[in-house]
Structure 1
């Protein structure tokens, strides 16, 4: 079964998504980029409130979009986000120069970092293998550009399947994201990642990913991913 990760931007959306059946709650600000960060003060209020009502529901949060070489800023943001009590801290990594060094640096931090491999130009299998070898609890495959192209428009499915298999062989959770929609459900089921991360597909289609999350869409996706 693939679990639904719902990306939310506020306490109201977080509670709506949890009540509607999202197995994981992901806090990020879609208006600030692919991995836009929610303000630390807001995280510090939302996380304990959500924990009080849903004590075992995993919570993740993004740190904001940064280049691979902004290591000091990454560390500061990772530790600040981790201090709010989230289970996982999501950090984007772009394939290319500095990516491997960035992954090694993130693996050294005293926080449960989940690297988000931004795959707009395909998946780097060597980078995926390194991420799995470094012992991260999970790896996310996503896209940086939210321009209507989905992860499956950018990535060769066979390569993606091989990366998922490599991660699974090391006990690493896998997640697919990147503007996924109903047309992608068959491929999601075939690849069977542990998690499917959604934002735009859970919002009113007139407004897209920056619109208001719709609990009815959350419920439909959670049911569909469970295979019902």
Structure 2
């Protein structure tokens, strides 16, 4: 259960509410909106000061594939904040192969996040699986257009999970996921699933809701989940 947060207070709420991974981003600035470097460092320091050792990831912001120098500079800046993983959005297109090669040579543990609004590029994923990334993810950019399951056929997601797992990497899924998607997630069995919309008071730009966090954590960590009614 990866929970995306934007502040120290939200990070502590998520950690105490059952999150297994803390993910740092600014939901008002897109799917992988980046927080200021100073904020990322403050959140990491606060979690560690409270004795919370959960793994922490942080996004670099939504940068196009042609901005390779900017991507690498931001990876260095975010990685230097003490996070465990640096998440970088990967858009479909020939330029993505060059970006993946460059990211694999970084000094920080980078997690490529494949933007899947128009499907998952199997060739791109296969290439990433040959590189030294600790994990790969699929996510969506347009959270108002539906969930990851609306954007990508379940068979393709199953193939994505299987390919990444066969390469020895961790695999994660995200993209406007809700409680109703838990049976599908449990069927696909990724190593982690990312949530923001499902654990907020209203939409993903509002504050985290401790009650929703607790309910989601309980469902993911043990209680059986019945398939949603058709």
1:163 CA drift (Å): 1.5
Which one of 197, 210, 217 corresponds to residue 205 of structure 2?
Answer: 210
Q: 1:93 is matched with which residue?
A: 90
1:227 CA drift (Å): 3.4
Which one of 50, 55, 58 corresponds to residue 61 of structure 1?
Answer: 58
Q: Is the partner of 2:204 in helix, strand or coil?
A: helix
1:46 CA drift (Å): 1.3
Name the count of aligned residue pairs: 223
- Runs of 4+ in structure 1 displaced over 6 angstroms? none
Which one of 178, 184, 188 corresponds to residue 185 of structure 2?
Answer: 188
So what's the TM-score if we normalise by structure 2? 0.94
Which structure exhibits the higher relative contact order, with contacts defined as CA atoms closer than 8 Å and separated by 6 or more residues? 1
Q: 2:227 is matched with which residue?
A: none
Q: 2:130 is matched with which residue?
A: 133
Q: 1:20 is matched with which residue?
A: 17
For residues 54 and 167 of structure 1, do their structure 2 counterparts lie closer, same or farther at Cα, with a shift above 3 Å needed? Answer: farther
**Structure 1: unaligned runs, 5 residues or longer:** none
**Structure 2: unaligned runs, 5 residues or longer:** 224-230
Contact 2:164 2:171 in 1 (8 A): yes
Which one of 34, 38, 43 corresponds to residue 41 of structure 1?
Answer: 38
Give the Cα separation in 1 of the matches to 2:152 and 2:211: 29
Q: 2:78 aligned with 1:81, yes or no?
A: yes
Contact 1:22 1:219 in 2 (8 A): no
Q: 2:150 is matched with which residue?
A: 153
So what's the TM-score if we normalise by structure 1? 0.95
Contact 2:47 2:53 in 1 (8 A): no
Root mean square deviation of aligned Cα = 1.0
Give the Cα separation in 2 of the matches to 1:182 and 1:17: 16
Deviations 1:121-165 (A, max 9, x none): 111111111111112101110001121411011111112111211
Give the Cα separation in 1 of the matches to 2:82 and 2:37: 11
Deviations 1:180-207 (A, max 9, x none): 11221111000000001001111013xx
1:55 CA drift (Å): 4.2
Give the Cα separation in 2 of the matches to 1:66 and 1:185: 30
